[in-house]
Amino acid sequence: MTGSTGRAAHGARQQCSAVRPIELDAMRRAIELAERGLGGTSPNPIVGCVILDDEGGPVGEGFHQRAGQPHAEVEALRNAGEQARGGTAVVTLEPCRHVGRTGPCVNALIEAGVSRVVYAVDDPNAVAGGGAEVLRAAGIDVVGGVLVREAAGSNEAWLHRARTGRPFVVWKFATTLDGRSSAADGTSRWITGDDARRDVHLLRSRVDAIAAGTGTICADDPSLTVRLDDVSISRDLRGQPLRVVVGHREISSSAKVFEGSAPTLLIHEHDPAVVLDELADRDVVSVLLEGGPTLAGAFIAAGLIDKVVAYVAPAFLGAGQPVLGSIGINTITDALRWEVDSVDMVGSDIRVVARPRAEVRPVPVGE
């Protein structure tokens, strides 16, 4: 991470000796709590909080469930009650100091009488950030940058949106070992097994929007919805992700994307930057790209995919549609090389998570 999370990481190196093991455990729990809000809090970040009493025991916890509802610190303080006085608040994001649809979290912490605040990631928002200094001015001991990488990873979509102004784009696809997304006759269900398909629905449940091209809609007639019996609390409250159909082709009124279980947005445009601007205007923080080789190729070529989640089935087709359309590369030396985050078995299939390589900048002599 760059920017504020980099500063927090630097602070963590300076202050780790001041952090107690119970606070590290509490931060891990706070990160787990924060992730319950994925897909439900936009345009706000996901945040989790654990309150420890003055002896270090956990007495309250909470997470931000939905924009406009209480923030994680307020929920945790409410659960802790008077036991928070003299205790420690452990929170995944620097407590906010601004008045929005809810009051400032710094005020709630001060009024609750906590003596210490331990947080992971600096808030990069110019309006909401700076809460740590407000707390210090009130006489509260504050430590930042604790487990910053873990917390920032969970909140990567919101941090990206705050930093760049555009939604975080995840491209998900399923492929055979020889790189085919469908057979020569056009059939594509099912390349992967039940476990991988369930994993895709979990992935869908954690984003604000699911996008596909008109070609995919016409060929496959997908629903683009989350279909799970045990969806998260936040998803139950918020409903289904926004379905986004991109392109100029006419779509039949009987297409599944027009049935009433989820909202659908038609964007008659092929320019990925324009599509993302439209979604940003609608407070979309994260979008899952599921729309075939043409749409994926346009986003890849524009440098607007932030993460890939690939499901690889141990199968061969030998012919059929490739996963990715042309992106203007004609020689191996120009290949786009990505960094692999993880490789896991999901049932009988392989899940690979990767992202673009960080730009390497030369360091001037003397720095």
Buried (b) or exposed (e) across 105-141, using 16+ Cβ within 10 A? bbbbbbebebebbbbbbbbbbeebbbbbebbeeeebe
Q: Pick the catalytic residue: 23, 35, 61, 73?
A: 73
Q: What is the distance between the alpha carbons of residues 119 and 131, in angstroms, rounded to a whole number?
A: 11
Burial of 367 (0-12, 13-18, 19+ CB in 10 A): exposed
73: annotated active-site residue: yes
Beta bridge partners of 288: 170, 210
Peptide linkage before 43 cis (omega within 30 of 0): yes
Provide the token pair at 46: 């996901």
**Residues 110 and 96 sit within 8 Å (Cβ to Cβ):** no
For the range 294-298, what are the long-range contacts, defined as Cβ-Cβ under 8 Å and sequence gap of 24 or more? Answer: 294/213, 294/215, 294/325, 295/211, 295/212, 295/213, 295/215, 295/216, 295/246, 295/247, 296/171, 296/173, 296/323, 296/324, 296/325, 297/324, 297/325, 297/326, 297/327, 298/270, 298/271, 298/272
DSSP 101-132: SS--HHHHHHHHT-SEEEEEE----TTT--HH
| 39: region left, alpha or beta (phi > 0 left; psi from -120 to 50 alpha) | left
Question: Which residues are catalytically annotated?
Answer: 73
